[in-house]
Chain A
């Protein structure tokens, strides 16, 4: 998956109900341009940065996330591969439960949109 697709998917996970107008307001990108980007038009670096900034700001609202990031950083240098695998499995399972509860499923092979 390209960086652009990943960024848009991430944005959609954080703001699942945003209208095009709301996306435009948050990112400062024109509404017609947002429509094109969501339909696969290539992003400019500035537009990617605008999306990334909105995503980063949203994540920063959750104080536990920075704890998690620090813990993951320490874990990557201290824990064994098997221990890291167990943690990764745990996090992936939590995510899969969330995905089941939402309107779509992300699989490793492909992205399947169901509802």
Chain B
């Protein structure tokens, strides 16, 4: 598998530029003990994390090849899909809306403007609360819009990476 799985990404994001011990990482991510431990070990084996036996931090000398693998578009798309799929499969307190909407040009412009407002609002929320809300309690939010005709055409044509 290329790139990071969304579980690995959570740990990498949780550590960020800091140096955290196992308990802090487990608290921040909310992962089960063995899962958290296994992911940490896998990240160390791949050279993404380093440890002094107590604390874990991002490796200073991650190779350019690994960085490219982690950050390439297809890997990030796959990570997003993992989270979206998990959200769709979620049983309790699921918030998910998917509809085909008839929008004329004027309404489409209004909708896009509302999305921009929404994005600004979310960026502000994140700035305000990122220091206090642990990674495990953050919300996964996504949106998108596409034209049915274009999407159907793309599905028939196949993926063009």
CB contact between B42 and one of A83, A89, A93, A107 (< 8 Å): that residue: A107
- CB pair B39–A89 under 8 Å, yes or no, is no
Q: A89-B1, A93-B1 are in contact. Are A100 and B160 (CB under 8 A)?
A: no
Contacts A90-B78, A97-B5 hold; do A105 and B159 have CB atoms under 8 A apart? Answer: no
Q: Is the CB of B78 within 8 A of A109?
A: no
Asked if A92 meets B1 with Cβ closer than 8 Å, knowing A103-B34, A107-B45, the reply is: yes
Q: Which one of A85, A107, A115 contacts B34 once the chains associate, using CB atoms below 8 Å?
A: A115
The one of B32, B41, B78, B158 that contacts A105, using a Cβ cutoff of 8 Å: B41
B158 x A82 contact (CB < 8 A): yes
For the complex, give the distance between the alpha carbons of A92 and B35 in Å.
17
**Bound CA–CA A14/B17 (angstroms):** 40
Chain B residues with CB under 8 Å of A90's CB are: 78, 81
Q: A107 vs B45: C-alpha distance in the bound complex, in angstroms?
A: 8
Q: Does B126 contact A (CB under 8 A)?
A: no
Within 8 Å of chain B (Cβ to Cβ): is A74? Answer: no
> Would you call A76 an interface residue if the criterion is a C-beta within 8 Å of the partner chain's C-beta atoms?
no
The count of residues in chain A whose C-beta lies closer than 8 Å to any C-beta of chain B is 27
Residues of B within 8 A of A110 (CB): 45
Q: Mark B1-39, 1 if CB is under 8 A from A, else 0.
A: 110010100000000000000000000000010110111
Q: A92-B1, A115-B34 are in contact. Are A86 and B159 (CB under 8 A)?
A: yes
Would you give the 0/1 interface string for A84-100, flagging 1 where the beta carbon is closer than 8 Å to chain B? Answer: 01100110110111011
A79-B158, A83-B158, A109-B45 known; A114 vs B5 contact (CB < 8 Å):
no
Q: Any chain A CB within 8 A of the CB of B74?
A: yes
State the CA gap A11–B125 with chains docked (Å). Answer: 50
Confirm or deny: A68 has a beta carbon within 8 angstroms of a beta carbon on chain B. Answer: no
Return chain B residues, CB-CB under 8 Å to A103.
34, 38
**Closest beta carbon of chain B to A36's beta carbon, Å:** 30
Q: Please judge, given known A-B contacts A90-B78, A115-B34, whether A96 and B5 are in contact too, CB under 8 Å.
A: yes
Cα–Cα distance between A115 and B42 once the two chains are bound (Å): 13
Q: Given the complex, which residues of B lie within 8 Å of A92, measured CB to CB?
A: 1
Instruction: Say if the beta carbon of A1 comes within 8 Å of chain B.
Output: no
Q: What are 19 A-B contacts defined by CB distance under 8 Å? A: A82-B161, A83-B159, A85-B74, A85-B161, A89-B1, A90-B78, A93-B78, A93-B82, A97-B5, A97-B7, A100-B5, A100-B35, A102-B38, A105-B41, A107-B45, A112-B41, A112-B42, A114-B37, A115-B38
Closest 7 CB pairs of A and B: A92-B1, A82-B161, A100-B38, A105-B42, A83-B159, A82-B159, A100-B35
